[in-house]
Structure 1
Amino acid sequence: MYKPFLVLVLVFHGLQLTAQQAVSGFVNFDDFNTWKPKIYLSQVALSDVENNSKTKPIAIADIQKDGFFKFDKKHFSDSNKIYRLHVERIRQIVNDTVAKKVTFMLSANDKIEFKKGVKIFGDYSTSNQADKEWQKLKDFESKLIHQYLTQEETVKPRTGFVKDSLQILLVKLVGIKELERKQLLDKDISENEEYYLNLLSELQSSDLNPSTYAFLERKLAYLTNVDLERKLTQSRWLNFGLGFLILLFGIAIAKMRRKRYKVLVSELSKQERTIRNLILQGKSNKEIANELFISLSTVKTHITSIYSKLNVANRKELLQKSTGTST
């Protein structure tokens, strides 16, 4: 009579324990004797995701003989945070390259389960949608970066992968590719035209294979033509504006010279102004002398004074400076 009741209690208790677990699964040690039977859970800041240094654990769990471990939901935030699991060897090994950690995104409302496999931390299944998207983005970034690594570079630490400037461009492409996948790229381009045009210019002048950013080049083809037309239009208006300013400047200088010339003319005596007007009419010195009933030498004296006051050397210069000037 008590056996069915006992079974129900055990089943209920088992379901309750399962419901309390947020992280569970297996670590896959090749030799359990070389590893500590403990697994450490840490919360990681976004800025420290790529930092391989150890973080302070928020929880520690035992690893069973078959590699099984689990962490309760009480260790996790109600909102999405980044967490890391790591294990440690009993003794350090020189040039140890075995990955001993795994990073993921999780909340107390989700579950994650690590499967058995070849790596210490094998594949896992998760109910957290944010982590799924994040892992896709990381995978795309990794594949993109590895396209530009030599066989020798592949075995180096991440800091030696590529030049900083090249890596920055690759990471930008990762983000842009993600925007395209979510069908948000066209909208973002329309709102940030200058940014994308400058980025395309950086990509074209870099060592990246053009096929890597061909999708962005196609997206910006129309925008590039529009920008070129805009620049040409701006250039035309600029040239027109400069020409107009030069014209205004020339007119202003001409007016200043005429005004100054008028002032100089006003300083001539009445007889000098009369002789100047006769010169402008094309009269010779003899004709001027006969018309004014003065001697030829007097005419020449007046003309010398006129030239000096108006700062001219001969009749030709006098005619040039007087063009368009009324007296």
Structure 2
Amino acid sequence: MKLKLFIFFLTFTTVISAQYNFSGQIDENNHGKTVYLSVIEDYRKLSRISFDQIIKKTTIDSLGYFSFVGDNLSLTNRIYRIHLDECDALTQNSNHFFGKCENSKSVLFIANNNDTVSFPTSFADQILCEINSTNKKSSAFLEIDIMKEEMAFDFNEFHSVANKRLNSKKWFSNFQSFSLTLNEPLAELYIFDFLSDKRNETYSYYIKDVVDNSYYSQLSKRLQEKYPDEIFTQLYESEIASDKLLHSQNTPQNTSWKWLLGILLGLSIFLNIYLIWQRKTSSQKAKNNALGKLTSQEQKIVDEILNDKTNKEIAADLFISLSTVKTHINNLYKKLNVSSREEIKQLLS
């Protein structure tokens, strides 16, 4: 009986204290700069730094260390990016909008709310290129990137059409076989995003492979089993359906189906717009419901928190005592069912 109670206590304590810790070390030239943490729900934005994906930021300390700690991430795996931004305010938005910013260093990784992940500075002061993690899936993207480099070498060695066809067949098989060993659909989406990119040499082979190869429908099943109802799962299924139809309408005997392709593409666009609208509506509704629970004074304190004011600054701005501020904040935590200022910002910003 005592053993059972001990096991229960240990399990309960672990669940309660579960939190993530993403930390790293940066070379001395970047001390004092800002590091950002983003979550990526749309795999088509994996190669682009986008400010609407950022969920946290921190500053590199005088010893070159940074860290993100909390307990508000998804309990299931998600794709995250940590990036160090050296763009100035004038060039930041335009560079990121077009998906290219040579002044940004970043790393993609897989993690969840229970993981501890570190990014040590490697040889020659290289940063954000090595991952140590409690999650075996975290470094999957780095392994895939190595395969991409090997594939590029193969394609560049001989430029003939025959060589490209043979290399495409070989590397599609290599990537798909490797992805199955990872047992992580998010890593498979990273590979899919690369192989199906219209800008890559691989696209012409992909548009045929998507029809003939059962791998893509099997990936759809794996996504549904592990990540049902997620935006990236729905986006993948929509893309696969559209690409299969696109291949069909490019085949001579199916040219009469062009109208159906237009309908499917239209439905795909409508579905994506609807999903985005639904998400924004739900978020706004939750925000309005939360604000409706608050008194006018509590709403003023929320505004101060959203502006990153300290308790002392809030007390001075509202002409109230520090203890009164603390009491209001404790009431906010209870009413909003949160446990930190960061959660208030996420809920109401």
Task: Identify whether the pair has TM-score above 0.5, normalized to the shorter chain.
Answer: no
Structure with the greater alpha carbon radius of gyration: 1
Per the normalisation by structure 2, the TM-score is 0.36
